[in-house]
Structure 1
Amino acid sequence: MGFITDIPLTLYLNHFGLQREPFSIVPDPSFLYPSPQHRQAVAHLKYGLDREGGFILLTGEVGTGKTTLTRILLKSLPAHIRVAYVLNSKLESSDLLASICHELNIALSDQEGISHTKICTDAIYRDLLAAHADGKKTLIVVEEAQNLNYEVLESLRLLSNLETETHKLLHILLVGQPELLPILAKTDLRQLNQRVVARFHLQPLDKTEIANYINYRLHKAGVEQPIFNSDCVKVLYKLTDGIPRLINLVCHQSLLAAYSNSSYSVSGALLKSAATEILSDSNNRGSVGQKKWIANSLIFIFFALVCFAIYFFTKDNGNFLPIQIDLTDQESTEKSLSGDKSIPKNIEIEVNQNSDSIFSPERQLLQLWISEPLAWTTDRTYKESIDSYGLKMQSFESLNFEDLLRIDRPGIVNLVDYAGGYSVLLTKINGTELILTAEHGSRTIRYDEFIKSWDGSFKYLWKPPKGYDGLLKKGVSNRPLVDWLQSRLMLMDHEYEWVITGGHYTEAIRLRVVEFQERHQLLADGILGDQTTMMLNILTDPSIPSLRGR
């Protein structure tokens, strides 16, 4: 069966009783499936716009709905917010500034002896001041922001500095693929990264969301009865990895195939057949030469993976036993770390049966926290060992790379390939390279390779201060913890004066915590929770292991 492309749209729609095309790949805000993570993303973006200027970050894999979500945001903006939409991210700095001027209808005039960049910047500043005086806000949106070079990013950072004595004048929304995250994590871009006031990473859909996604789009297109059989969801999940754009392509081709067969429903087998066609290279479909090239490429990739696995995870490595990956009930839920409230409740950590092995990732992780050689006895469990050193293990099942950077602690990650899963210790991140440690030493892996293999899980250790039991709120009495908090604030600010509190968490200290949280892009709720405590730790204690170094 080849691609079906010559069926008149009206016949195809009438056959299924559709009023509109349900699975178009053209971004349409009215068709955006309101999944929990998409609603959360919109909330994060709106929260960023409510702040006093700065950068807002929206990232996600190709086809996860970033552009559609951006259009939803822009469509819902109040009239007093002006928007400059930059689609071409491969511009030079001066051209980008000129594009912003064009979008905001800012008139430019050549001035002898002055660079075009300065002319644009000065004109934008005057325009922003006038807009601010008129009660208006300005938002610059840059699509495909992972393509921005350093000079352009620096120009945007300088634009974000434009302010009055009391207000920032500009919001900048960067929309890009995951490759944007390690770029912003570079040391020479830390000033820009510190100006990000809200961020969100879009994940693909899980299986439950795929079923709801299909039904929602069919409903929006005017059909209430089911068209896709229940076995289609599992096939879609395996073939598209939950990427909405790929789901749309496969579903559209499946409906065309069903129409051509005079069928009013789509089976899993029909969908799989359509997916095989649509997900193959459409430029030379059906050519014998292409099929041979694909076959040879797959054979090459297969043996390359085998060589990599043998080289990195030697066959006698006891702590790298393959794990059976069961996708039947797996759900992928975004857990944002923008603040303490988003940290899940303590999870019972089910330690790998080899965690007591001398070369286990758990033991290697614990050793990073201990200066002397780790004493290891068979009558002590791993949990008892970390408890004895005053440490706590935190675990996430589905984390994005940006949040991993924010945690900034070595941890155990699970990499998945054709043979199963392998737990390794992530010890360092140097730019776009990550260092993984196993029994036979360390290996360096590129960011893009890591993202393709990492299943999102992350386990790490941290050391709570004395008296810490979860959350410290206003009015709570906890002298050891309040004293520890004030001592940390004094280490970071030599002008800080010790507040007499009687051991209570007072409003004066709460306000200092809010300032600290705002400065470090944490949820500014004034509550001393896990993320705020860990940030205080890592900024004031150089002995704490760090992924990026300090």
Structure 2
Amino acid sequence: KLDDVEIALCLNPQLPIEDFLATLCSELGVGLPNEPVAVENFADAMQFLNRSMTLGKTLPLKSRLDALNAYLLHTHAAGRRAVLIIDEAQLLSREVLEQVRLLTNLETTRRKLLRIILVGQPELRVTLARTDLRQLAQRITVRYHLSPLDRYDTYAYIRHRLRVAGGREDLFTPKALRSVYRHSRGVPRLINIVCDRALLGAYTEDERRVSARHVEQAAHEALPEPHPRQRLTLIIGLLILMTLIGIGLWPRYAEPLSMMAQSVAALIIPTGSRKADATTRLPSSPPAITTSSNLASLLPNADEATAQRRLLALWNVSLPSISRNPLCTQVNAYQLRCLTGRSHWDQLRRYNRPALLRFKMTGGTTAPVLLKTLYQDAATLEIGQQTVTLPLAQLAPWWTGDYVLLWRPQISEDLITPGSSGPSVRWLRQQLAFANGQPIPQAPDEYFDATLQEQLQLFQRNQGLQSDGRAGPRTLTILNNLVSSPDDPVLSVPREAPQVR
């Protein structure tokens, strides 16, 4: 509890305007206009209560707002702040949301008298993106979206909850933790449901630790069945190719449509599948897998300048040998952008671009390693002047998870958000339509509305991205892969992993 803050909490958002304001006034202790009543017995108390309830239903909105404004001015003069928290705000009606906007008009010449916090499910973002609510959306100064946790944050979250509850942090086996993430996809509410049911299952079997089997059974009982991955995009693509062949346009469009088919195939093949689509580009001959013992001797020979130069060469770019500007600043002149972060192999497959990885060395330092080819279970790396191919399982202890890759944007904006407009939004609609196997609109709307945001969020969830409904660099990188230039380098995914000699 904060001593200098008055908090009003609205837990039922499905109220008409009158009841919503009555709740706000009641939570803050705002007195409504009324004549004093002497309460001496039970009959007087019932009469006073009935009169108060009647007054609450008939009191004009202006009287409520005047009383609220007077209270807020008094609170401000006393050096205190008033905060309204509305839970499940995605359920607020259009009329109540308009009233929320009007409440933001209660202010002095220097500051707002009432701070409002809207807490809700992801549908709240869709609601606020509506055109008729843009004035309310424009008054929101701070937004925070709790996105799904990644694999490692999921593990840390589970261990934290166990530690706070006084339990052992290793109560879930490593395989059980991986299973929890696979079923929950990092959504905290689903993590809680699966873990709670798994703990109950282990308890009923008198087991001291939760195994992957307990998690699998818990997910089967507590979570809905997942929907099968749709293959409509590939089917439509094949029909287009067959049609072009039939009408004699194949020679003209063979190369660009081939690139399109490769990108679509990479997007719709499930992560971890043991077989890639036939349209995926294959290396001429799989290299032999070397041993991890060679890696330790090669890492000291890696240097930043060579690794960056080799990455740029894949993009047919040659930078001056001496420059004080960082790599990501220099590549802007070549219409390239940097994408940096910490991720895992599956996400790098979706980006499908060569990348500079950071590998651990003795003494706490790291070395730059160029990832050139990513197979199902192995990767080809360039370290200094040497090229090696190693199993992903052996690379796991070396890679920090950090990466830097380059991508070539097809539009001028690096971020497209709800409320944006122009050619970038038109391009986004076309790319999403193509990714979803829908007819590509010839003259799409150039305004980023709620419908487009829902489509983008679905695409982001399918690609393992943060489903915030904003097309940032990570989302744009994958969207660019739908139809990219034949000259852009990719991480080829062979049909079969290279063989050990």
TM-score by length of 1: 0.47
Which structure 1 residue ranges, 5 or more long, are not aligned? 1-74, 281-293, 329-343, 354-381, 396-402, 436-444, 461-550
Structure 2 counterpart SS, 1:257: helix
Conserved? CA contact 2:409–2:476, under 8 Å? no
Aligned to 2:197: 253
Aligned to 1:57: none
- Measured after TM superposition, the shift of residue 167 of structure 1 is 2.3
Conserved? CA contact 1:80–1:137, under 8 Å? yes
Structure 2 CA distance for partners of 1:251 and 1:313, relative to 1, 3 Å: farther
Aligned to 1:458: 475
1:143 matched to 2:143? no
Structure 2 CA distance for partners of 1:237 and 1:407, relative to 1, 3 Å: farther
1:144-183 residue CA offsets vs partner (Å, 9 max, x unmatched): 1111111111111111101122222111001112222232
How many Å separate the matches in 2 of 1:407 and 1:392? Answer: 13
- Measured after TM superposition, the shift of residue 274 of structure 1 is 2.1
1:354-373 correspondence to structure 2 within 5 Å: none
1:431 matched to 2:355? no
Conserved? CA contact 1:416–1:453, under 8 Å? no
2:450 maps to a residue whose letter is: T
Which structure 2 residue ranges, 5 or more long, are not aligned? 35-54, 242-256, 274-327, 340-347, 354-405, 467-473, 478-501
Aligned partner of 2:218 among 260, 269, 274: 274
How many Å separate the matches in 1 of 2:202 and 2:352? Answer: 47
Structure 2 counterpart SS, 1:88: coil
Structure 2 counterpart SS, 1:459: helix
How many Å separate the matches in 2 of 1:102 and 1:327? Answer: 55
How many Å separate the matches in 1 of 2:151 and 2:17? Answer: 43
The structure number with the bigger radius of gyration is 2
How many Å separate the matches in 1 of 2:432 and 2:57? Answer: 56
How many Å separate the matches in 2 of 1:127 and 1:218? Answer: 44
Cα root mean square deviation, aligned: 4.3
1:401-416 correspondence to structure 2 within 5 Å: 404-405=417-418, 409-410=424-425
How many Å separate the matches in 2 of 1:273 and 1:182? Answer: 34
Aligned partner of 2:206 among 236, 240, 262: 262
138-147 or 319-328, larger mean C-alpha shift:
319-328
Aligned to 1:512: none
1:90 matched to 2:108? no
Structure 2 CA distance for partners of 1:225 and 1:302, relative to 1, 3 Å: closer
Give the % identical residues.
32
2:12 maps to a residue whose letter is: N
1:348 matched to 2:338? yes
How many Å separate the matches in 1 of 2:419 and 2:25? Answer: 34
Conserved? CA contact 2:81–2:113, under 8 Å? yes
Structure 2 CA distance for partners of 1:302 and 1:248, relative to 1, 3 Å: closer
How many Å separate the matches in 2 of 1:213 and 1:196? Answer: 30
How many Å separate the matches in 2 of 1:251 and 1:124? Answer: 45
Aligned to 2:414: 394
Structure 2 CA distance for partners of 1:302 and 1:385, relative to 1, 3 Å: closer
Aligned to 2:30: 106
1:298-309 correspondence to structure 2 within 5 Å: 305=230
1:322 matched to 2:265? yes
Paired residue total: 301
- Measured after TM superposition, the shift of residue 246 of structure 1 is 1.5
1:220-253 residue CA offsets vs partner (Å, 9 max, x unmatched): 1112451111011221112111111221121122
254-263 or 307-316, larger mean C-alpha shift:
307-316
TM-score by length of 2: 0.51
How many Å separate the matches in 1 of 2:476 and 2:455? Answer: 21
1:165 matched to 2:182? no
1:185 maps to a residue whose letter is: A
Structure 2 CA distance for partners of 1:327 and 1:219, relative to 1, 3 Å: farther
2:143 maps to a residue whose letter is: R
1:17-59 residue CA offsets vs partner (Å, 9 max, x unmatched): xxxxxxxxxxxxxxxxxxxxxxxxxxxxxxxxxxxxxxxxxxx
Aligned to 2:253: none
Structure 2 CA distance for partners of 1:231 and 1:152, relative to 1, 3 Å: same
Structure 2 CA distance for partners of 1:222 and 1:113, relative to 1, 3 Å: closer
Aligned partner of 1:129 among 73, 90, 103: 73
